[in-house]
Structure 1
Amino acid sequence: MTPASSSLPRGDRWFDDGLYTSVNELAHRSPGWLDTAVSLWSTYGLVLLGALLMAAWWRARPVDPARAALALAAPLVVLAAFVVSTALKALLREQRPCQTLRTVTVEACPAVGDWSLPSNHAVLAAAVATTLLFTDRRLAALAVPAAVAMAASRVWVGAHYPHDVVLGLVVGAAVAGALMTGARRAAAPVAERLHTTRLRPPVAKR
């Protein structure tokens, strides 16, 4: 575990300071293998979620060109959710809890000015899970709990307050849900146009 910087004064108290501290203490008392597993998921879990996006597109190509076109739009939707999250961070400018509470954390405490609210990891995970609800419900059944686990892992490793990750899940789901609803209306016409061009392979296997 890595100690946070002690150069900052304590910030304003948040309503979930106690919950964050409790999770932090639990992580501190847990076996090293568990902290390692959570840290690995926190760091690399988004790669697995990204693979699910690719799998959704691959599974849709042979059976439903419109769904394949929608799956192709999903990464752009996830990117849009990230842009919104980054803008909110710059606007809200919440310092990391490991800075304001001076806690000992599983992972190194992010630098001062690396804002905390909302959690980008939670935003991206929720956005992926939401796009999969539109494109592949079976894969979504894996992605939804994975997104929640990603959010929880960010608190466990000490990088975020609980409210950071909750807002992240809400922002990711809201942005992705709105954009995928619009994309779903356009998916069938786009797929139909592409079906008669050289761009047919991305939306239809045959």
Structure 2
Amino acid sequence: MAGLAIDGSNPDVSLLQDINGLAGSAPGWFDRGMRYAGEYGIVVGLVLLLLWCWWSVRRRGAAEDSVAAVAGLLWAPLAAGAALLVNIPIRDFVARDRPFVDHRGLDVLAPARTDFSFVSDHATLAMALGVGIFVAHRGFGLAAIGLALVEGFSRVYVGVHYPTDVIGGFALGTAVVLLLAPLALALLTPLVSAVCRSRRAGSLVRSRAARDADRAESDAVAAGSGPDTGDEPGTRPLGIPEPRPDDNNLAA
């Protein structure tokens, strides 16, 4: 498999050289920004976006929606970890060297790692988080997937991955999230629902204001749950005549 990337006429190599070649004409500050973004920045941004999504969903929407969204957000980092574990045997089986090992002249802007190149851990992690957030909330998820795409581009830009390493990472992260989501959410949703009902930990799923609103709505429904006669208190239903003073005597 490593030999697939050696030939310079290979589209994978040509695209690598085109993208990495941008580093030669870009300002130094842009190269440093891409290096930091690819190594740490975008992953940190995805984590912050996940926390922002959690903060938003616990304050808005119905309780059922909050429980489902928080369960999905819990699944996102768990799925990312599972995808990285799945990548370990794949990476060792394919055993593709880093592009700078076989191709001289690349601008390697990130630390030159000695492990194998396929599949990209960074791309796998970023896309798993992005798709996981999308499962919980589409709006935040689209932004997260956009960040994951930038992560993949940056790994090629800094010269440490082939484009197919990144594409493979995107596919692996997406597959793990979506294929295991039904089982994971079936296990996580009851757990999150139990936390939501807890007095002490319920604010992790529903904010205090949202829970107070739920309680007020429940009390209002309970207060109006008695039989409705359609009349003011103290009045008789229409169609039933008022008793006359001598009715009791007549009955006797």
Separation (CA, whole Å) in 2 of partners of 1:123 and 1:171: 6
Q: May I ask how many residue pairs the two structures share in their alignment?
A: 195
Give how far 1:108 is off.
Answer: 4.3
Q: Does 1:23 align with 2:25?
A: no
Separation (CA, whole Å) in 2 of partners of 1:176 and 1:170: 10
- 1:79-116: CA deviations, max 9, x gaps? 1111112332122111000111123324145243x110
Separation (CA, whole Å) in 1 of partners of 2:113 and 2:189: 46
Aligned to 1:201: 203
Give how far 1:48 is off.
Answer: 0.4
What does residue range 65-144 of structure 1 map to in structure 2 within 5 Å? 65-108=67-110, 110-112=112-114, 114-144=115-145
Aligned to 2:152: 151
After TM superposition, where is structure 1 displaced by more than 4 Å over at least 4 residues in a row?
Answer: none
SS of structure 2 residue aligned to 1:193: helix
- 1:2-24: CA deviations, max 9, x gaps? xxxxxxxxx74373112212222
What does residue range 16-55 of structure 1 map to in structure 2 within 5 Å? 16-43=12-39, 44-55=41-52
Aligned partners of 1:66 and 1:203 also within 8 Å: no
Aligned partners of 1:57 and 1:72 also within 8 Å: no
**Higher RCO, 1 vs 2 (CA within 8 Å, ≥6 residues apart):** 1
**Given the superposition, is the C-alpha separation of residues 83 and 32 from structure 1 closer, same or farther in structure 2, using an over 3 Å criterion?**
same
Aligned partners of 2:91 and 2:118 also within 8 Å: yes
Compare CA radii of gyration and give the structure with the larger one: 2
Q: Which amino acid aligns with 2:22?
A: L
Give how far 1:187 is off.
Answer: 4.2
Aligned partners of 1:27 and 1:106 also within 8 Å: no
Separation (CA, whole Å) in 1 of partners of 2:110 and 2:151: 17
TM-score normalised to structure 2 length: 0.70
Q: Which amino acid aligns with 1:60?
A: V
Separation (CA, whole Å) in 1 of partners of 2:73 and 2:110: 36
TM-score normalised to structure 1 length: 0.84
**Given the superposition, is the C-alpha separation of residues 47 and 109 from structure 1 closer, same or farther in structure 2, using an over 3 Å criterion?**
closer
Aligned to 1:58: 55
Give how far 1:39 is off.
Answer: 1.5
Separation (CA, whole Å) in 2 of partners of 1:146 and 1:184: 24
Q: Which moved more, 1:165-174 or 1:188-197?
A: 188-197
- 1:109-139: CA deviations, max 9, x gaps? 5243x11001111101110110111112111
Aligned to 1:4: none
CA RMSD of aligned residues (A): 2.1
